[in-house]
């Protein structure tokens, strides 16, 4: 009680927060929540299966998302919904 773990302030955690928002989608709270869920599930899987590759995979995922999904998963879902709405 009353102890602050220095690991919480590590650069890795700060970078992970930015990646959560980038993957989920900027501009919405639920985008960041979706991104956090995706990254944490991937982290759990990759740190047990391939622990030495996890940070490289996280960096690669960040680069791919910023290049191909600038609005994140939420933006992709809204684009799909807009196209399905036009198709009806």
Can you give the residue ranges of every domain in the chain?
11-87
pTM: 0.73
86 pLDDT more than 80: no
Q: What is the DSSP string of 47-81?
A: HHH-TTTHHHHHHHHHHHHHHH-TTHHHHHHHHHH
Q: Which two tokens stand for residue 32?
A: 């960041």
Please check the confidence at residue 11 and state whether its pLDDT lies above 80. no
> pLDDT of 13-53, one tens digit each?
778 888 889 999 888 888 889 999 988 898 888 888 888 88
Q: Give dist(CA 20, CA 35) in Å, integer.
A: 4
Tokens 């391939």 — which residue?
50
């Amino acid at each position: 009680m009353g102890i602050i773990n220095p690991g919480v302030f590590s650069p890795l955690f700060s970078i992970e927060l930015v990646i959560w928002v980038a993957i989920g989608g900027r501009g919405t709270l639920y985008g960041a929540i979706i991104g956090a869920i995706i990254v944490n599930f991937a982290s759990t899987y990759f740190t047990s299966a391939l622990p030495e590759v996890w940070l490289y995979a996280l960096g690669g995922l960040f680069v791919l998302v910023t290049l191909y999904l600038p609005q994140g998963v939420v933006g992709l879902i809204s684009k799909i919904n807009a196209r399905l709405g036009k198709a009806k």
